[in-house]
Structure 1
Amino acid sequence: MTATGHSLRELIAAPHPDHAPLPSRAPSEPDVHELRGVPYAEVEGSRPLELDLWLPGSSRPGPLPLVLFVHGGAWRRGRRDDMGMRTRHWAPRPFARIAAEGFAVACADYRLSGEATFPAPLDDLRAALRWLTLRSAELGIDTSRTVVWGESAGGHLASLLALTHADPALVGAVIWYGPSDLTAARGRFTPEDATTPEALMLGTAPAAAPELARGASPLTHVHADAPPFLLVHGEQDTMVDCSHSRSLASALEQAGSPVELRTVQRADHGWLGLSDVQVEGLFAHSLAFAHRLVA
C-alpha cells in the first residue's frame, strides 16, 4: 500500500468512467459540439467501452432529449459513429443534423461477436444508458426521453433494448432494416447454419440453442407496454429479409403497442438502390418521428 492508502495497481489505472473528468466540448458542425471517445464502462478482460456525443452548441431550455444510436456491421464489425454507407458523405453529418434539431446524440461501442457473445452487446448498451443517466446533469440531458435508433444489427439490438429496458424506459425506437427473429429461416438466413453472423453473435447455431435464440429475438419480447416503434425496411433487402420488420410490426399491433411500418420499394440493405433524395427523405421521416415522441 502507498501512503494514500491505495495500491499501486489502483493508482496506475485510469479513473473509473463513473467519475472520470469529461473531455472538453469541441466545435463540430455549425451550432454543434462533440465529445469524442468518452469511456462509459470497464469490462473485465476487454477494451474500455467508449461513446461519442453530439450536443447542440447553443443553449437550449431544459435538459435535452437523447437519441442513442446503435451501429450495424453484422454484430462482427462496424464503427459507433457510422449510420451506414449512404450517409457517410453527408455534410453536415447525420448525428450533427440530429443534434442541431435539439437532441443530444450518443453513439456507443458494444462488444462485437469476436470479443463476446450475446447478451454481451445488449448488456453494453444498458451500461451506456446507465452511465448517461449517472452523468446526465453534467451533460445536460434527460435520459427519461431517450429514443433508440439502430440500423441492421444495431437495429436488432436497439429493438431488444426498447422492448426490455425499464430503468429508464425508452420513449421510442427507430429501426432501420433490423433482424427481429433468430429462430426461423427467412431469406438467406437458416437457423441451422453455425457460420452466419447470427450464429457468431450467439456463439452457436440458433437451432442448436433454441432458448438462447428466442431470448435474442425481439419478436419474443413484444408486449403491450412497448414504446412506439418506427420500422423502416427495404422490400428488396437481400441481407435481412423484409419479413423481419413485417412480423415485428404485426406482433406489436396485436399487442396493442404503437407501431409504424414503412417498407421501401426497390431498396436493398443499407438503402442500396435508392437515390440520395430518397435516403434523405427516410432520414427526415425518422427524425420527425423521434421529435414527436419527445415533444
Structure 2
Amino acid sequence: MIVRLTYRSGPYRVKGYVGLPPGCGAPPEALQSLAAARGGLPAAELPVDVVAEAVRVSYRPHTMLRPASSEAASAVPPRATSPRPDGAPYPYPALVLCRGGVGGFGRVRPHWVDDFAARGFVVFAPCYRGNEGGEGRDEFGGADREDVAEAIALLRTFPFVDRDRVSVAGFSRGSINAARAAVDAPDAVRRLVLWSGVADLARTYEERVDLRRTLKRILGGTPAKRPEAYRERSPLALAPRLRCPTLVVHGAKDPQVDVGHGLAMYEALRALGAPVDLHLYEGFAHLFPYAAHQAAVDRMAAWLLE
C-alpha cells in the first residue's frame, strides 16, 4: 500500500508518501494516528489519502530482504514479511527517500516508493513543505530539511519498523536533504545513498544556467553574494561530518547533475577514510532506463541490507 500522509514538521503540516511492503498490513488510519501522536495534533487535522491499495510483489524474490553478507543475514529473519508466532509482523528495514527538483518540478515519484516497498522496505518520501498541499515554503535544502528529520523520527515510531535499520537516500537535489539528515541525526541514520546527487551547489549554479534564477530567488543571491547559503546546502562540505556508510550512485553521462559531483563526493569521503562505495553506470544519464533502474535498485537494496 502507498498513502500520502500529512504530518507535522515544525509549525507546518506537510505531506509525504509512505509505502508499505507486501504483508505489512498496517491500515491508513494507524499511520494517521501515529502521525497525530508524534505531532501533537488531532488526527482529523492530518488527512491521509490512499494512492495505491497494494505495491507489486518483487519480481525477484531473492531481493526481498535477503542481505548480501552472511553477518547481515544472521540479523534478519529469512522472510521478514512472514508473521511471528504471536501474529505480529517482523520489524522491517526502512528508507527515507528524498525527492529531487524544487516545487512542482521533480515531485515524489510513487513508482520509486513502490520499487523499494516491493523489496521489503517501509518507505517514507517527504514532499517537502509547500508542495502537494503542504504548508510552508520549499527552501531547496534550507529549513525544509526539518521535514526529512521529522520523517525519520516519525518512521522510527512505527511499531513494525526496525528503528536500528533506517537509512536515507537522496536523488538529485534530494542528496542535499539526505546528507544533512545523516549529519544531523547520526544515531538514527544507518546508511546514506546519494543517487545522481548534487555535491556542490555552487558548481550546480555554474553548470545549470537554467537554474540560476531559481537558486538566486530561493537562496537570496549568487554563490559570490551568499557563499554560506550554498555551502550549507552542499554535501561535499558536509563530508567530514558524515559517520554512516555512504553509497554514491551516478550515471556517467548525466547532463543534469554532472558525474563530477558524484566522483568528487566519493573521493572526498575516501580521502577522509570514511566508509564509501561507488556504483558508477557508464552510458546512463540522470534517470536510467527501466531495466537498468530496476537493476540499480536491486543492487542498492542489497547494499542497504549489508
TM-score by length of 1: 0.70
CA gap of 1:214–1:176, structure 2 versus 1, over 3 A, is same
CA distance in 2, matches of 1:149, 1:188: 23
Alpha-carbon distance change, 201 to 226 in structure 1, aligned in 2, over 3 angstroms: farther
> 1:239 & 1:171 partners in 2: Cα distance?
28
Q: Deviations over 1:99-149 (max 9, x none)?
A: 34332111222125992424122111111112223x322xx1123311112
Contact 2:198 2:262 in 1 (8 A): yes
- Counterpart in the other structure of 2:198: 179
Q: In structure 1, list runs of 5 or more residues that go unmatched.
A: 1-32, 84-92
Match of 1:217 in 2: 234
> SS of the residue aligned with 1:126?
helix
Per the alignment, residue 95 of structure 1 pairs with 113
Structure 1 residues 237 and 100: alpha-carbon distance in aligned structure 2, compared to 1, 3 A threshold: closer
Q: Which runs of 5+ in 2 are unaligned?
A: 24-80, 85-89
Helix, strand or coil at the partner of 2:94: strand
What is the identity, as a one-letter code, of the residue corresponding to 2:246?
F
1:110 paired residue number: 128
User: What is the root-mean-square deviation in Å for CA atoms of aligned residues?
Assistant: 2.7
Partner of 1:121: 144
Do 1:40 and 1:49's aligned partners in 2 also have CA atoms closer than 8 Å?
yes
Matched, 1:132 2:155: yes
Higher relative contact order by CA 8 Å / sep ≥ 6: 1 or 2?
2
Question: Which residue of structure 2 aligns with residue 49 of structure 1?
Answer: 15
What is the TM-score normalised by the length of structure 2? 0.68
> Which residue matches 2:304?
290
- Residue 149 of structure 2 aligns with an amino acid whose one-letter code is R
What is the rounded CA distance, in whole Å, between the counterparts of 1:73 and 1:225 in structure 2? 23
Answer yes or no: is the 8 Å Cα contact 2:193–2:248 preserved in 1.
Answer: yes
Partner of 1:254: 271
Instruction: Answer whether contact 1:53 1:104 (CA < 8 A) is retained.
Output: yes
Q: Which residue does 1:233 correspond to in 2?
A: 250
C-alpha offsets along residues 37-73 of structure 1, whole Å, 9 cap, x if unaligned?
22221554x5533332323314455422111111112
| Deviation for aligned residue 1:284 | 1.3
CA contact (8 A) 1:187 1:240 kept: no
d(CA) in 2 for partners of 1:49, 1:180: 26
Q: Answer yes or no: is the 8 Å Cα contact 1:186–1:243 preserved in 2.
A: no
- The alpha-carbon deviation at position 201 of structure 1 amounts to 4.2
The question of whether the paired residues in 2 share the 8 Å contact of 1:54 and 1:106 is answered with no
Report the count of equivalent residues. 238
Q: Give aligned-pair identity as a percent.
A: 27
Does the CA-based 8 Å contact 1:152-1:179 persist in structure 2? yes
Question: SS of the counterpart of 1:222?
Answer: helix
Matched, 1:149 2:169: yes
In the alignment, which residue of structure 2 is the partner of 1:30? none
Structure 1 residues 37 and 126, CA gap change in structure 2 (3 angstroms) = same
| C-alpha contact 1:174 1:230 (8 A) present in aligned 2 | yes
The answer to whether the Cα contact below 8 Å between 1:126 and 1:161 also exists between their aligned partners in 2 is yes
Q: 1:40 to 1:262 in 2, by over 3 A?
A: same
Q: Which amino acid aligns with 2:163?
A: T
CA, structure 1 residues 265+204, in 2 after alignment: closer, same or farther (shift >3 Å)? same
Change in 2 beyond 3 A, CA 1:194/1:186: closer
Kindly tell me: are residues 256 and 60 of structure 1, through their superposed partners in 2, closer, same or farther at Cα, counting changes over 3 Å? farther
Aligned to 1:269: 286
Deviations 1:53-95 (A, max 9, x none): 3233144554221111111124653332x07xxxxxxxxx443
